[in-house]
């Protein structure tokens, strides 16, 4: 029968650590060693404190409470650094999609969005949330990779969905604030009784020209290399990528 931890054990410098079998084990708040369940006895815990941390023997409960808090804080920082959660990854995809759809430069994520998100989290949710959000991968390179991933995923969905094997491509060109020509490629396809519109790709054009021939070459290269041309039943190049303009070209 496993022994249960008792709060009074903190007076000897030991906090509760629960292992993967749900068994209580004493953890020293000074050296962070985790001892066996059988060591959950005052004389054994006292022995560890005397032998290993002689200079802390007569410290108050407040001292050990402070050590316990420090230990818990560094644990949560560690887990944030080592295991970025799934939520953070999804958040970076959501940011990438927004940036592409709003035709903003990829660098805006790191330069503006992340500092704003951190400031808002710190104000509303506290420092832990702010440091969690600051581990979000939002470099320009990460945003570019996310946008490519999103496009690849859309292509897979398009081909997994038999009724969607005919599609319309919608192009939207614009200048970003760095005066680079951007091209956004949307795909519109049938889904049940409805039509879906998704972002397929977003990239910079090498030149500032918006000549149809160059745009067409880029589209062919970045968006359609794994799609079948014969399934593309229309290409629309004018206007913004709104539902209305997509409707027109369908």
57 vs 212 by CB, closer to Zn ion: 57
Kindly state the smallest distance separating residue 13's Cβ from Zn ion, in Å: 7
To which residue do tokens 């500092």 refer? 115
31 vs 81 by CB, closer to Zn ion: 31
Paired with 169 in beta bridges are: 187, 235
30 is an interface residue for Zn ion by CB under 5 A: yes
Q: Which stretch binds Zn ion (CB under 5 A): 29-37, 163-171, 196-204, 228-236?
A: 29-37
Structure-block tokens of residue 43: 């004389």
List Cβ<8 Å contacts ≥24 apart for 215-219: 215/171, 215/173, 215/183, 218/183, 219/169, 219/171, 219/183, 219/185
Q: Which stretch binds Zn ion (CB under 5 A): 51-59, 75-83, 99-107, 199-207?
A: 51-59
Kindly state the smallest distance separating residue 44's Cβ from Zn ion, in Å: 12
Q: How far is the C-alpha of 5 from the C-alpha of 15, rounded, in Å?
A: 8
Of the residues 5, 10, 28, 203, which one makes contact with Zn ion according to CB under 5 A = 28
Q: Which stretch binds Zn ion (CB under 5 A): 50-58, 139-147, 193-201, 230-238?
A: 50-58
Number of residues in the chain: 250
Kindly state the smallest distance separating residue 10's Cβ from Zn ion, in Å: 13
Q: Which stretch binds Zn ion (CB under 5 A): 1-9, 32-40, 152-160, 191-199?
A: 32-40
Q: Which among 210, 212, 198, 209 is positioned nearest to 169, based on CA atoms?
A: 198
Residue 40 exposed, middle or buried by CB count within 10 Å (0-12, 13-18, 19+): buried
Interface with Zn ion (CB under 5 A): 28, 30-31, 33, 52
């Amino acid at each position: 029968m496993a022994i249960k931890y008792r709060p009074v054990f903190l007076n000897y410098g030991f906090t509760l650590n629960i292992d993967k079998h749900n068994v209580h084990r004493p953890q020293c708040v000074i050296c962070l060693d985790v001892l066996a369940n059988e060591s959950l006895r005052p004389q054994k815990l006292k022995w560890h404190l005397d032998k290993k941390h002689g200079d802390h023997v007569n410290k108050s409960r407040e001292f050990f409470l402070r050590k316990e808090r420090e230990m818990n804080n560094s644990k949560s920082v560690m887990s944030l650094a080592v295991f970025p959660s799934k939520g953070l990854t999804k958040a970076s995809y959501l940011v990438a999609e927004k940036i592409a759809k709003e035709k903003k430069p990829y660098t805006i994520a790191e330069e503006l969005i992340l500092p704003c998100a951190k400031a808002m989290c710190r104000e509303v949710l506290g420092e832990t949330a702010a440091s969690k959000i600051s581990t979000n991968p939002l470099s320009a390179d990460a945003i570019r990779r996310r946008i490519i991933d999103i496009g690849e995923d859309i292509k897979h969905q398009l081909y997994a969905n038999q009724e969607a094997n005919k599609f319309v491509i919608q192009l939207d060109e614009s200048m970003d604030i760095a005066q680079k020509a951007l091209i956004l490629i949307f795909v519109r396809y049938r889904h049940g009784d409805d039509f879906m519109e998704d972002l397929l790709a977003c990239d910079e054009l090498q030149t500032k020209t918006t000549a149809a021939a160059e745009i067409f070459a880029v589209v062919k290269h970045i968006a359609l290399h794994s799609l079948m041309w014969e399934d593309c039943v229309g290409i629309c190049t004018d206007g913004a990528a709104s539902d209305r303009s997509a409707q027109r070209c369908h």
